[in-house]
Amino acid sequence: MSLSVRDHLLTDIIGNRQVRSTVKDEYKGMPIPEYFGCNVFNDEAMRTYLPYKTYSRLKAIIASGEPIDDALAEEVAHGVKEWALSKGATHYTHWFQPMTGATAEKHDSFLDFDADGMPINRFSGKALKQGEPDASSFPSGGLRATFEARGYTAWDPSSPIFIMEGVNGNTLCIPTVFLSYTGVILDKKAPLLRSMEALSREATRLLHLFGKKNVKRVTTTVGAEQEYFLIDKAYFLRRQDLMLTGRTLFGAKPPRGQQMEDHYFASIRERVLAFMQDVEIEAFKLGIPAKTRHNEVSPAQFEIAPIFETTNIATDHNLLLMEILRKVANRHNFALLLHEKPFKGVNGSGKHNNWSMATDTGENLLDPGHTPHENLQFLTVLTTVITAVYRYADLLRTSVATPGNDHRLGANEAPPAIISVFLGQQLSQILEDIEANKKTNYTDKQIIDLGISTLPKISKDNTDRNRTSPFAFTGNKFEFRAVGSSQSIAGPNFVLNTIVAKVLKEVCDKIEANLKKGMEFNQAVMEVILPMIKESKPVRFEGNNYSPEWEKEAAKRGLPNRKTTPESLRDFIAEKNIAVLKEMGVLSEVEIQARYHILVENYSKTLNIEAETALAMARTQILPTVLRYQTILANAAASIKEVNGKAYDLQLSATKEYALLVADLQNKIVELEEIVKKAEEIGDEVEKADFYCQKVLPAMNALRDVVDTLEDKTADDLWPLPKYREMLFVY
Partners of 121 in beta bridges: 111
Q: What is the rounded CA–CA span in Å between residue 276 and residue 332?
A: 10
Q: Are 419 and 471 in contact (CB under 8 A)?
A: yes
Q: Which of 85-93, 335-343, 347-355, 717-725 is the region at the interface with Mg ion (rule: CB under 5 A)?
A: 347-355
Size of the site for ligand ADP (CB under 6 A): 15
| CA dihedral over 356, 359, 362, 365, signed as positive or negative | negative
Report helix, strand or coil for 370.
Answer: coil
Each residue 431-470 as x (binds ligand ADP by CB under 6 A) or -, in order, gives ----------------------------------------
Using the minimum distance from each CB to ligand ADP, give the nearer residue, 280 or 394. Answer: 280
Which of Mg ion, ligand ADP, none does 359 bind, CB closer than 5 to 8 A by kind? none
Q: Are 560 and 393 in contact (CB under 8 A)?
A: yes
Give yes or no for residue 152 binding ligand ADP (CB under 6 A): no
Q: Are 467 and 482 in contact (CB under 8 A)?
A: no
Close Cβ partners of 139 (under 8 Å, ≥ 6 residues apart): 98, 99, 100, 598, 601, 602
Residue closest to 266 by CA, chosen among 244, 298, 289: 298
Each residue 254-283 as x (binds Mg ion by CB under 5 A) or -, in order, gives ------------------------------
Report helix, strand or coil for 412.
Answer: coil
Least distance from ligand ADP to the Cβ atom of residue 456, Å: 18
Least distance from Mg ion to the Cβ atom of residue 472, Å: 9
For residue 67, what is the DSSP state?
P
Using the minimum distance from each CB to ligand ADP, give the nearer residue, 153 or 356. Answer: 356
Give yes or no for residue 409 binding ligand ADP (CB under 6 A): no
Q: Which of 228-236, 237-245, 250-258, 472-480 is the region at the interface with ligand ADP (rule: CB under 6 A)?
A: 472-480
Which of ligand ADP, Mg ion, none does 232 bind, CB closer than 5 to 8 A by kind? none
For residue 98, what is the DSSP state?
B
Residue closest to 385 by CA, chosen among 571, 536, 530: 536
Least distance from ligand ADP to the Cβ atom of residue 463, Å: 10
Give yes or no for residue 310 binding ligand ADP (CB under 6 A): no
SS3 of 661-680: HHHHHHHHHHHHHHHHHHHH
Q: What is the rounded CA–CA span in Å between residue 250 and residue 263?
A: 23
Which of Mg ion, ligand ADP, none does 391 bind, CB closer than 5 to 8 A by kind? none
Size of the site for Mg ion (CB under 5 A): 1
* Residues of this chain, 225-254, that bind ligand ADP according to CB under 6 A: 225
Give yes or no for residue 315 binding ligand ADP (CB under 6 A): no
Least distance from ligand ADP to the Cβ atom of residue 3, Å: 45
Q: Are 106 and 147 in contact (CB under 8 A)?
A: no
Least distance from ligand ADP to the Cβ atom of residue 278, Å: 21
* Residues of this chain, 349-378, that bind ligand ADP according to CB under 6 A: 354-356, 364
Least distance from Mg ion to the Cβ atom of residue 341, Å: 20
* Residues of this chain, 348-407, that bind Mg ion according to CB under 5 A: 352
Using the minimum distance from each CB to ligand ADP, give the nearer residue, 432 or 542. Answer: 542
CA–CA distances in Å: residue 39 to residues 86, 88, 285: 11, 11, 5
State the residue number with the nearest CB to ligand ADP: 223
Q: What is the rounded CA–CA span in Å between residue 131 and residue 176?
A: 9
Give yes or no for residue 496 binding ligand ADP (CB under 6 A): no
Residue choice 222, 346, 710, 728 for contact with ligand ADP (CB under 6 A): 222
Task: State how beta strands 218-232 and 309-310 pair.
Answer: antiparallel
Residue type, 544: N
Least distance from Mg ion to the Cβ atom of residue 407, Å: 21
Q: Which regions of 59-128 does DSSP assign to beta strands (E)?
A: 89-96, 104-109, 111-113, 119-121
Residue choice 347, 380, 474, 655 for contact with ligand ADP (CB under 6 A): 474
Q: Are 321 and 226 in contact (CB under 8 A)?
A: yes
Q: Which of 302-310, 315-323, 436-444, 585-593 is the region at the interface with ligand ADP (rule: CB under 6 A)?
A: 302-310
Q: What is the dihedral of CA 317, 320, 325, 327, to 10 degrees?
A: -160
Least distance from ligand ADP to the Cβ atom of residue 112, Å: 43
Least distance from Mg ion to the Cβ atom of residue 301, Å: 15
State the residue number with the nearest CB to Mg ion: 352
Which of ligand ADP, Mg ion, none does 625 bind, CB closer than 5 to 8 A by kind? none
* Residues of this chain, 583-642, that bind Mg ion according to CB under 5 A: none
Q: Are 603 and 689 in contact (CB under 8 A)?
A: yes
Close Cβ partners of 57 (under 8 Å, ≥ 6 residues apart): 72
Burial (CB count <10 Å: 0-12, 13-18, 19+), residue 538: middle
Least distance from Mg ion to the Cβ atom of residue 321, Å: 16
Least distance from ligand ADP to the Cβ atom of residue 586, Å: 20
Residue closest to 440 by CA, chosen among 518, 537, 530: 530
Q: Which residues bind Mg ion (CB under 5 A)?
A: 352
| Residue numbers at the binding site for ligand ADP (CB under 6 A) | 221-223, 225, 305-308, 354-356, 364, 474, 476-477
